[in-house]
């Protein structure tokens, strides 16, 4: 059983991957399991969303936004336990058809920033071509840092909680404004120094 370790014969009815000893444990584990639950063949997938903190280019305050997420299987995972990956659709906040190159950046220059719970990191998604394509300075970050950030952040920026067990295996968690915003602002203030 995923919850108690007892011998189990009941599986998750959607993915058929997780085992449980009783229906109560299935219900108790659903909040954790649903973000990794990929339907077995023949079962219709349901879309999910992940909360991220949006630092809007033309507003003064950050806000939580719902980012559409596709949960899928990595067909050739290096480690089978990490076969579930999330693919975020960020086209609402980035012009993916223009001269835009959206890339992630781990906060701390690639160092793992541990959050409560195992495997959590913080990262941001930003347009690395903002100087080339003329994106305006991010007014939200300028406001939060009192215009003292050493780097000129431009365009929209999304902050996310992530898990990176492997280089090419990405899974996301819901961001939390109260817990994550101070860490992200600290990153903006220190980047480039």
> Does the pTM of the predicted model rise above 0.85?
no
Tabulate helix, strand, coil % of the chain (nearest 5): 20, 30, 50
End-to-end alpha-carbon separation of the chain, Å? 49
pLDDT at 114: 43
Whether residue 184 contacts residue 159, with contact meaning beta carbons closer than 8 Å, is answered with yes
pLDDT, one tens digit per residue, over 91-133 is 999 887 777 788 888 875 444 444 444 457 888 999 988 888 8
* DSSP conformation class of 58: T
* DSSP conformation class of 55: E
pLDDT at 165: 54
Whether residue 111 contacts residue 138, with contact meaning beta carbons closer than 8 Å, is answered with no
How many other C-beta atoms can be found within 10 angstroms of the C-beta atom of residue 142? 16
What are the mean pLDDT values of the chain's consecutive 10-residue runs (193 residues total)?
87 82 90 76 69 96 94 63 73 82 72 46 88 90 95 93 63 88 93 80
pLDDT at 107: 79
pLDDT at 75: 63
């Amino acid at each position: 059983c995923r919850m108690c370790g007892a011998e189990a014969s009941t599986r998750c009815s959607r993915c058929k991957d997780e085992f449980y000893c009783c229906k109560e444990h299935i219900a108790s584990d659903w909040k954790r399991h649903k973000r990794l639950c990929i339907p077995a063949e023949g079962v219709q997938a349901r879309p999910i969303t992940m909360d991220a903190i949006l630092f809007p280019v033309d507003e003064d305050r950050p806000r939580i936004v719902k980012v559409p997420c596709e949960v899928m299987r990595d067909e050739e995972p290096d480690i089978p336990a990490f076969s579930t990956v999330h693919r975020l659709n960020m086209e609402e906040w980035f012009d993916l058809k223009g001269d835009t190159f959206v890339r992630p950046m781990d906060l701390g220059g690639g160092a793992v920033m541990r959050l409560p719970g195992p495997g959590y990191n913080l990262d941001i998604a930003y347009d690395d071509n903002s100087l080339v394509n003329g994106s305006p300075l991010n007014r939200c970050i300028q406001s939060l840092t009192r215009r003292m950030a050493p780097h000129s952040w431009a365009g929209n920026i999304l902050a996310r909680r992530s898990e990176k067990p492997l280089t090419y295996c990405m899974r996301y968690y819901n961001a939390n404004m109260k817990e994550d915003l101070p860490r992200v602002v600290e990153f903006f203030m220190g980047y480039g120094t």
